[in-house]
Structure 1
Amino acid sequence: MVKLLLYIKHHLTFIWSIVEWCNSMLFYVLYGKRLKNTVKNIGTLSNRPDLVFRSIEANDLKGLETFFSEQPKEAFKFFNPHGFDLESLRKINRNKAFLMIGCYKDNVLAGYCFLRFFANKQAFRGKIVDPRFQGQGIAKEMGRLTTEICRKMEFRLFATISKDNVKSIASSKAVNDVKIVKELPDGYYYVEYLNKK
C-alpha cells in the first residue's frame, strides 16, 4: 500500500491531488476540531524556552519560501515532501490535513516541520533545520513536539527515511523508539515512531 501511494504521489500527480483533496475533507470532518484544540497553544508543548514554535499561517508563507530558497542544495537530498515555491506552499497551507510548523530562534525561522494527517488516524512527519542552527537540538525538539501532537490526537506517527540520513535517524532515535515497518526501494525505510518506553 505504501509503495502504491508513493508511486501515485510522484508519478500520477493528478490522481494524488484528488486523493489529497478527499483526505483533507474527510480528515477535517472527523478530526478538524481535535487538531485545532491540540495546536491552539502549540508553543506550550515545547520544553525549550529559547525556541518559539507556531503554526505557519498564510502571511508566513513568503518567509517560508525565502527560508527554503536560502538552504544549500544538499539540504534537499533527503527532504522533498512538497514544492517549495510560494504557490506550492499556499496549496499545502490550504490542505486541512497538513500542519505546517515554524521553529523560530531570536525571531529568525530556524527550522520547519510538518505533519501530514490521514483520515485512518495515521500521520507522517518531516523536518528540516537551517544549517546555521544545526547542532542545537532543534531537530530533536521538533521530533518531540510532533510526537506529542500525535499522542494528543491519538494518531500513529510514521515517516519514510533514508538509510543514509544519519542525522535524521539519530535525532529521531533521541525522542522515539523507531520501528522499521518495511524496507522501500532506493535505500529508504518506512518507519513508525513510537513513544519512548
Structure 2
Amino acid sequence: MIKLLIYIKHHLSFIWFLVEWLNTTVFYLLYGHELGNQLNGLLEKYKGEFSYRLLDNNDMYALSDFFSMQPENSFIFFKPHALDVCSLKKKNKDRSFLMIGVFDDQQLIGYCFLRCFFNKRAFRGKIVDVKYQGRGIAKQMGNLTTEICQLLKFRLFATISKDNVRSMASSRAVNRVKIVKELPNDYLYVEYLLKE
C-alpha cells in the first residue's frame, strides 16, 4: 500500500491531490472540533521561557526566513516539504498538517509539525534554530506533539536516519522508540510510544 501511494505521489499528481484533499477533509470532519477545543490550552501549558503556537498564513514569511538562516547541514536529515514561502503557504492551508512555532518573544526559534491522517496516524518532524540548540526545545516539541497525539488517540511515527544521532537521542528522551521497519539509505521507520 505504501509503495502504491509513493508511486501515485510521484507519477500521478492529480490523483495524489485528490487523496490529500480527501484525507484533509475527513481528518477535519472527524477531529477538527476536538482539536480546536483543546489545542490552544495545550500550547499554553508549554509556555515558559519560550512560547508555542500554531503558525498561520502570516507566519510563513518568518518561517521561510527561519529556514534560510540555518546552516546547510541542518537540512541533511530534515526535508519534510519545500521551504519557500509559496509552498509553505500552501502547506499551511492543509488542516491535517499542524505547523507549530516556538518563539523567543517575537522571534521564531523552532518549528515542529504533525502530518495527520484520518486513520489515526501522525508523523512528526522538528527543527531548532542552531543558536538555540541544547536548551531542551527539541525535547519540549517532542513532548508537545506526543501529547497532541494522545489527545486525539493517534499513533505517532517518523522516519529517522541511523546517522542522525541527535534526533534519535532527542526522541528517546521523550518516547520509547520502536523500530517498525528498516528503509533504504539507512533510514528507520519508527513509532513513538509512551515511556513506561
Smaller-chain TM-score range? Answer: over 0.9
Matching of residue 44 in structure 1 with residue 13 in structure 2: no
Q: Which runs of 5+ in 1 are unaligned?
A: none
Query: Contact between 1:58 and 1:90, CA under 8 Å: does it hold in 2?
Result: yes
Distance 1:101 1:135 in 2: 19
What are the within-5 Å matches in structure 2 for residues 69-88 of structure 1? Answer: 69-88=68-87
In structure 2, the partner of 1:62 is 61
Query: Contact between 2:114 and 2:145, CA under 8 Å: does it hold in 1?
Result: yes
Q: What is the Cα deviation at residue 10 of structure 1?
A: 5.0
Q: What is the Cα deviation at residue 6 of structure 1?
A: 4.2
In structure 2, the partner of 1:18 is 18
Query: Contact between 1:42 and 1:55, CA under 8 Å: does it hold in 2?
Result: no
The structure-2 alpha-carbon separation of the partners of 1:7 and 1:50, relative to structure 1 and needing over 3 Å to count, comes to: farther
SS in 1 for 2:98: strand
Q: What is the Cα deviation at residue 3 of structure 1?
A: 4.2
Counting aligned pairs with the same residue, the percent is 59
Distance 2:9 2:161 in 1: 18
CA RMSD in angstroms comes to 1.6
Query: Contact between 2:44 and 2:51, CA under 8 Å: does it hold in 1?
Result: no
Distance 1:138 1:11 in 2: 38
The structure-2 alpha-carbon separation of the partners of 1:89 and 1:54, relative to structure 1 and needing over 3 Å to count, comes to: same
Distance 2:11 2:104 in 1: 37
The structure-2 alpha-carbon separation of the partners of 1:88 and 1:49, relative to structure 1 and needing over 3 Å to count, comes to: same
Query: Contact between 1:98 and 1:117, CA under 8 Å: does it hold in 2?
Result: yes
Distance 2:130 2:12 in 1: 33
Matching of residue 93 in structure 1 with residue 92 in structure 2: yes
The residue identity in structure 1 corresponding to 2:20 is E
TM (norm. structure 1) is: 0.93
The structure-2 alpha-carbon separation of the partners of 1:52 and 1:33, relative to structure 1 and needing over 3 Å to count, comes to: same
Query: Contact between 1:81 and 1:126, CA under 8 Å: does it hold in 2?
Result: yes
Q: What is the Cα deviation at residue 29 of structure 1?
A: 1.1
The structure-2 alpha-carbon separation of the partners of 1:181 and 1:92, relative to structure 1 and needing over 3 Å to count, comes to: same
Q: Which runs of 5+ in 2 are unaligned?
A: none
Distance 1:101 1:170 in 2: 21
| Total equivalences in the alignment | 196
The structure-2 alpha-carbon separation of the partners of 1:102 and 1:76, relative to structure 1 and needing over 3 Å to count, comes to: same
Query: Contact between 1:45 and 1:145, CA under 8 Å: does it hold in 2?
Result: no
Distance 1:7 1:151 in 2: 31
In structure 2, the partner of 1:134 is 133
In structure 2, the partner of 1:171 is 170
Per-residue CA deviation, residues 33-63 of structure 1 (Å, 9 max, x unaligned), is 11212312243332x6101000001111111
| Stretch of structure 1 that moved more, 114-123 or 100-109 | 100-109
Distance 1:74 1:3 in 2: 29
In structure 1, the partner of 2:142 is 143
